[in-house]
Amino acid sequence: MDNKLNIYNTLSRRKEVFEPITPPFVGLYVCGPTVYGDAHLGHARPAITFDLVFRYLQYLGYKVRYVRNITDVGHLMNDGDDGEDKIEKKARLEQLEPMEVVQFYTNRYHKNMEQLNTLSPSIEPHASGHIIEQMELVKKILSNGFAYESDGNIYFDVEAYNKKYDYGKLSGRKVDELLANTRQLDGQDGKHNPADFALWKKATPEHIMRWPSPWGNGFPGWHLECSCMSQKYLGDYFDIHGGGLDLQFPHHECEIAQSTAAYGHEAVKYWMHNNMVTINGKKMGKSLGNFITLDQLFSGENEVLEQAYSPMTIRFFILQAHYRSPLDFSNDALKAAQKGYERLMSAVNALNKVKAGADNTVDIDILVAECFEAINDDLNTPVLISRLFDGVKIINSLVAGSEKISVENLNKLKKLYHDFVFDILGLKAEVEAVSKDHEVLGNILDMVMAIRAEAKQKKDWETSDKIRDELKIAGVIVKDTKDGYEWELES
Ligand code: ZN
């Protein structure tokens, strides 16, 4: 099978065949959370999108080093160069050490990520643990002439950089337009140019998270950590950098500029961005009153929610949309996702009931090829899932006996669902406790029904009817079928 993965590279603005720089190794860097609050739907989407990338690359046999950072310093309230540090603000409001805030929300983030069945990254570096490396990067950019000092702050010189390289190549923004749009900020902070951004910020007297540097006490700019940590762990040139579309500008644009200014070349081969989540067509935001955390989704405790939604329902909901399309949350969409997830999982369970024989009336190879075609087309999970539902029809026909399958094809079909549903899409069964009881009950029924079959064979109708009637009194309804029997609990 031709298993060539095509991915859309934001940088080239087209789909490209994925070719790792040094196969079989793949470096994958994803911008992680700023840990000052609970994870919400907006966090779930990049986590699941790049979990899919991580899982599928491993499935294809690559050795993937997946680095996802924890931002715990330097991310200011307005996402720019002014305002209070997000974590410090939370720490001040709750009278905690900033690192207590970081630990508290990092633990909660991990718990949510585990609930969503995302695999842990290979390395999860903290920005605060890489201050020395960030200062070294600032020194390099300064000595290469692409930054300047201004009253204890170090700013990246966008104009100087743009003379030699192309600032705006990722987001498609033009420096001239950036200058025109931000003219009103002219002269603030001692910047030469409003488009310049901070590599290092001077700490005000009340600022807690500060480190001594050659330029005085301060802290690194937000964009710097990702340039620094991605290249520290993945090398000067690595395969994939991912993140949400909201990070494309300025965060990722600045990352490209910083790496290029320091090393003379870009660091990343493929840039991947997941699109945003909206709620009933509107952007989600604390101030908009439609902000839903993952814990609230799982418990149903938010007035926007008509019910609780399980982690696998959320995962399935996110995978049902292509990662580059916007995804709109609504109760109706989530209820539909819940039904879809349950239908898929019950088909996977039903596969165990399918019996192979000498006859075969189904084409499994086509189904397998179509599933790979979908995932290889820029991880087109909506098409993949609809192919898997085509297969559900086949499974149901096999269970009903209207189609026949050979042993070889049944093994292919089981492998297809096992690989795609569990390994690649990362779904899992959510009702394990119930299904365990169900399994034990099923085993006991098999035993009882074997005794009944024996009785019938001996034409001992009295015993045979007694077993059926007693089971009914016990709440189990048994129906004889062509190949044996079916049962269900009386509702
Ligand atoms: Zn980042």
pLDDT digits (tens, 9 = 90+) for 387-401: 999 999 999 999 999
Ligand 1 midpoint to CA 224 (Å): 8
Alpha helices in 377-488 (DSSP H): 381-400, 407-417, 432-457, 461-473
Ligand 1 midpoint to CA 248 (Å): 10
Ligand 1 midpoint to CA 261 (Å): 17
Ligand 1 midpoint to CA 69 (Å): 7
In this model, does residue 88 exceed pLDDT 70? yes
Neighbours of 174 (CB within 10 A): 13
In the sheet that holds 147-150, the strands lie side by side as 147-150, 153-156, 197-202, 218-220
In this model, does residue 377 exceed pLDDT 60? yes
Dihedral Cα 31, 37, 41, 44, nearest 10 deg = 40
**Regarding predicted confidence, which is higher, 188 or 142?**
142
Tokens 């007693």, residue located: 470
In this model, does residue 451 exceed pLDDT 60? yes
Please tell me what DSSP assigns to residue 203: P
Q: What's residue 185's pLDDT?
A: 53
In this model, does residue 435 exceed pLDDT 90? no
Ligand 1 midpoint to CA 240 (Å): 13
Structure tokens that stand for 394 in this block: 């086949």
| Torsion over CA: 187, 188, 191, 194 (sign) | negative
Ligand 1 midpoint to CA 364 (Å): 42
Q: Comparing 240-249, 324-333, 468-477, which segment has the lowest mean pLDDT?
A: 468-477
Query: What is the mean predicted confidence (pLDDT) over 36-49?
Result: 94
pLDDT digits (tens, 9 = 90+) for 455-472: 999 999 999 999 989 999
Ligand 1 midpoint to CA 393 (Å): 43
Q: What's residue 362's pLDDT?
A: 97
Ligand 1 midpoint to CA 84 (Å): 19
Helix axes 311-319, 41-59, angle to 10 degrees: 70
Q: What's residue 443's pLDDT?
A: 85
Q: What is residue 33's three-state secondary structure?
A: coil
Query: What is the mean predicted confidence (pLDDT) over 1-29?
Result: 94
pLDDT digits (tens, 9 = 90+) for 257-282: 999 999 999 999 999 999 999 998 88
Ligand 1 midpoint to CA 57 (Å): 21
Share of the chain above pLDDT 90, in %: 77
Radius of gyration of the chain (CA): 28
Q: Comparing 88-92, 110-114, 178-182, which segment has the lowest mean pLDDT?
A: 178-182
Share of the chain above pLDDT 70, in %: 97
Ligand 1 midpoint to CA 68 (Å): 9
Ligand 1 midpoint to CA 267 (Å): 13
Ligand 1 midpoint to CA 385 (Å): 30
In this model, does residue 184 exceed pLDDT 60? no
Ligand 1 midpoint to CA 439 (Å): 46
Ligand 1 midpoint to CA 74 (Å): 11
Q: What's residue 1's pLDDT?
A: 45
Ligand 1 midpoint to CA 226 (Å): 5
Q: What's residue 74's pLDDT?
A: 78
In this model, does residue 198 exceed pLDDT 60? yes
Dihedral Cα 271, 274, 275, 279, nearest 10 deg = -160
Cis bond upstream, residue 24 (ω within 30)? yes
Query: What is the mean predicted confidence (pLDDT) over 395-414?
Result: 96
Query: What is the mean predicted confidence (pLDDT) over 31-58?
Result: 95
Ligand 1 midpoint to CA 47 (Å): 13
Q: What's residue 182's pLDDT?
A: 60
- As a residue count, the chain comes to 491
Ligand 1 midpoint to CA 30 (Å): 7
Nearest of 232, 223, 284 to residue 258 by alpha carbon: 223
In this model, does residue 54 exceed pLDDT 60? yes
Q: What's residue 228's pLDDT?
A: 97
Ligand 1 midpoint to CA 121 (Å): 15
Query: What is the mean predicted confidence (pLDDT) over 290-310?
Result: 93
In this model, does residue 309 exceed pLDDT 80? yes
Transcribe 276-333 into DSSP letters. -EEETTEE--GGGT---BHHHHHHT-STT-SS---HHHHHHHHHTS-TTS-EEE-HHH
- Residue 283 pairs in a beta bridge with 278
Neighbours of 344 (CB within 10 A): 20
Q: What's residue 77's pLDDT?
A: 78
In this model, does residue 187 exceed pLDDT 70? no
In this model, does residue 438 exceed pLDDT 70? yes
Give the pLDDT band (50/70/90) at residue 119: very high
Ligand 1 midpoint to CA 227 (Å): 8
Give the pLDDT band (50/70/90) at residue 2: low
